[in-house]
Chains A and B, each alone.
Chain A
């Protein structure tokens, strides 16, 4: 069966101004238990690639610049 592209809103938001992924920081990507964050190599910032969030918050708490914000996923808000 051919696949469709399914879009959703993502709960984790990264402030591009504060994110220092372009300096090599990978903290949020490293600590996520579900491995749902990634680096946008073009922009040099982290982003939520997969909407598979447990809203547990290590990404936000461990971020050295306070760039990451975890929201509650829309379905259970």
Chain B
């Protein structure tokens, strides 16, 4: 790729939303609904029609708070307990209160949820304490519905532009972002009053056991760009040591157990077909028991459905093979595995950063505000724990409304033209070389190091080796080469991955205790230390550009949790395994 002249277009808007998956479109929609006169630009690395974690839809809501089944207070308590007390309850409450209105709004737009004969939502129990799971057997059309609404409200969509850095004004507030076209290499500078980050998880951090770089649990486009951009813009990131690790089908990156098959009677079993955990809901404690079982004499772990009736299995297959990860049926077909005949081997996923499933994200409060003025975040990359798809919608909506309000009292900030020029140089550096190291080999090496040294169990001395080796990879960036705009996108993604790996390592070393089950299992600090670490950890860039840390006290709970309730998720292992029914 030879670039003699850099093409740069500069546009102005009120709200810039970065990321067109789940939370991003809803942020744009709610900003427009709040003030139709606002100019809203949605910048997406892929194409909004089919981008993000739900590009093929979703099979259900994992955390629906529906009157008659659960109250917002119950939900806040459940998530507080599931996340070992480290939650900003006001943000969880804002989600819980927005949950039902959002379900109604999505329903009105045409999203189909499972209802019983009388038209009531058919909510199922999966969590340890409450009832929150609402199936969406026809949930494959969610993106189409969002896209239609974006067109209706006249949101300006720029597809195939990858945002690389946020722009900030002299006083530190956000001033827009710079993006590069992944097909032409042209730059787009978007000046904005407010920016909403909704770039998904940092899902391309660990390497899947198959070694296939793009076989990640998360949509492989979600590689941590949002985390990196927030960090470099001066925002604080919270609890990054609370990794995402998921139970999946072995070698296939689709979930299968708790939310879909659980309500039908399927469960996670050991090699004897016995249950070993009381509750399949994805928590760090559940993952710890899963991990222990994997390497025990009764491991590995399986998804058990072969005891169910034919019609039940057919129904499960219809849901699993047509929503979210529909190539699953093809995987089983080729392997010759069938839910009817025997149990299906499961395994744990590679590690990632993600608040959607755990609690590692850019810090936001109950108004989706980050610590940078004018900058908001939502979805998997923002710090509201366990918030899943519905959380991305609700918190995206909150971000859109808050940003719209902020725009009303803000003038378009100036931006630093020198910063744009410097960023263009950073972006284009790999294109100035004719040979060197490819993004693929550098990414493979970085992520292999993540598996070798950073994935739990976390051992301090191994973490120090990780930091040394990752620093060597970072040093190799001066040899990184990209021969076309597509490779340039991968080269930039590699740099986001490296930033997230460094943040994951530094955050994990900072918290010298164990918490959240497997997610932060520091084997040389095996106990939970509430005296010193009952707090959020905040990770940010200091004036020398290094990763710095501080403790943030937990706001007084608005929903009290009794001490005996707090340990509910610590007794997930079944005392005496029962025989399979």
Binding site for B on A (CB under 8 A): 1-3, 30-35, 49-50, 52-58, 61-62, 70-73, 75-77
Whether B486 and A35, one on each chain, are in contact in the complex, defined by CB atoms closer than 8 angstroms, is yes
What's the dominant secondary structure at chain B's contact region? loop
Find B49's partner among A30, A49, A71 (CB 8 Å cutoff). Answer: A30
Nearest 6 interchain pairs by C-beta: A76-B210, A31-B50, A58-B50, A75-B212, A33-B46, A55-B327
Residues of the B chain whose Cβ atoms lie less than 8 Å from the Cβ of A53: 214
In the complex the two chains form, what is the Cα distance from A34 to B50 in whole Å? 10
Whether A58 and B56, one on each chain, are in contact in the complex, defined by CB atoms closer than 8 angstroms, is yes
In the complex the two chains form, what is the Cα distance from A34 to B223 in whole Å? 11
17 additional contacts (CB under 8 A) given A61-B326, A72-B252:
A33-B50, A33-B55, A35-B489, A49-B486, A52-B490, A53-B214, A54-B214, A54-B216, A55-B215, A56-B325, A58-B55, A58-B56, A70-B327, A72-B327, A76-B215, A76-B331, A77-B335
**Given A3-B438, A72-B334, A75-B211, A57 and B49 contact (CB-CB distance below 8 Å):** no
Residues of the B chain whose Cβ atoms lie less than 8 Å from the Cβ of A72: 252, 327, 330-331, 334
In the complex the two chains form, what is the Cα distance from A34 to B490 in whole Å? 10
In the complex the two chains form, what is the Cα distance from A33 to B218 in whole Å? 12
Residues of the B chain whose Cβ atoms lie less than 8 Å from the Cβ of A71: 330
Residues of the B chain whose Cβ atoms lie less than 8 Å from the Cβ of A57: 56, 326-327
In the complex the two chains form, what is the Cα distance from A53 to B215 in whole Å? 7
Residues of the B chain whose Cβ atoms lie less than 8 Å from the Cβ of A61: 56, 326
In the complex the two chains form, what is the Cα distance from A54 to B56 in whole Å? 11
Whether A1 and B437, one on each chain, are in contact in the complex, defined by CB atoms closer than 8 angstroms, is yes
- In the complex, the chain B residue whose C-beta lies closest to that of A50 is B486
Find B182's partner among A35, A70, A75 (CB 8 Å cutoff). Answer: A35
- Confirm or deny: B391 has a beta carbon within 8 angstroms of a beta carbon on chain A: no
In the complex the two chains form, what is the Cα distance from A42 to B330 in whole Å? 32
Whether A31 and B437, one on each chain, are in contact in the complex, defined by CB atoms closer than 8 angstroms, is no
Find B219's partner among A2, A30, A31, A54 (CB 8 Å cutoff). Answer: A54
In the complex the two chains form, what is the Cα distance from A70 to B446 in whole Å? 28
- In the complex, the chain A residue whose C-beta lies closest to that of B140 is A61
Which of A35, A71, A73 gathers most chain B CB within 10 Å?
A35
Interface residues on chain B, size class = 35 or more
Residues of the A chain whose Cβ atoms lie less than 8 Å from the Cβ of B490: 52
Whether B214 and A35, one on each chain, are in contact in the complex, defined by CB atoms closer than 8 angstroms, is no
**Given A1-B437, A1-B479, A58-B55, A35 and B251 contact (CB-CB distance below 8 Å):** no
Task: Tell me how far the C-beta of A77 lies from the nearest C-beta in chain B, rounded to whole angstroms.
Answer: 6
- Chosen A-B contacts, 19 in total, with CB atoms closer than 8 Å, are A31-B50, A33-B46, A33-B47, A33-B50, A33-B221, A52-B214, A54-B219, A55-B215, A55-B327, A56-B325, A58-B49, A61-B56, A70-B330, A72-B327, A75-B210, A75-B212, A76-B208, A77-B331, A77-B334
- Confirm or deny: B504 has a beta carbon within 8 angstroms of a beta carbon on chain A: no
In the complex the two chains form, what is the Cα distance from A75 to B216 in whole Å? 13
- Confirm or deny: B154 has a beta carbon within 8 angstroms of a beta carbon on chain A: no
- Confirm or deny: B481 has a beta carbon within 8 angstroms of a beta carbon on chain A: yes
Residues of the B chain whose Cβ atoms lie less than 8 Å from the Cβ of A52: 213-214, 220, 490
**Given A54-B214, A75-B210, A76-B212, A34 and B435 contact (CB-CB distance below 8 Å):** no
In the complex the two chains form, what is the Cα distance from A56 to B213 in whole Å? 15
Q: Which residues of chain B from 485 to 525 have any CB-CB distance to chain A below 8 Å in the complex?
A: 486, 489-490
Task: Tell me how far the C-beta of A65 lies from the nearest C-beta in chain B, rounded to whole angstroms.
Answer: 18
Find B46's partner among A2, A32, A50 (CB 8 Å cutoff). Answer: A32
Whether A56 and B251, one on each chain, are in contact in the complex, defined by CB atoms closer than 8 angstroms, is no
- Confirm or deny: B170 has a beta carbon within 8 angstroms of a beta carbon on chain A: no
In the complex the two chains form, what is the Cα distance from A45 to B210 in whole Å? 31
- Confirm or deny: B101 has a beta carbon within 8 angstroms of a beta carbon on chain A: no
Whether A35 and B331, one on each chain, are in contact in the complex, defined by CB atoms closer than 8 angstroms, is no
Task: Tell me how far the C-beta of B575 lies from the nearest C-beta in chain A, rounded to whole angstroms.
Answer: 36
Chain A proximity mask over B350-377: 1 for CB below 8 Å, otherwise 0: 0000000000000000000000000000
- Confirm or deny: B478 has a beta carbon within 8 angstroms of a beta carbon on chain A: no
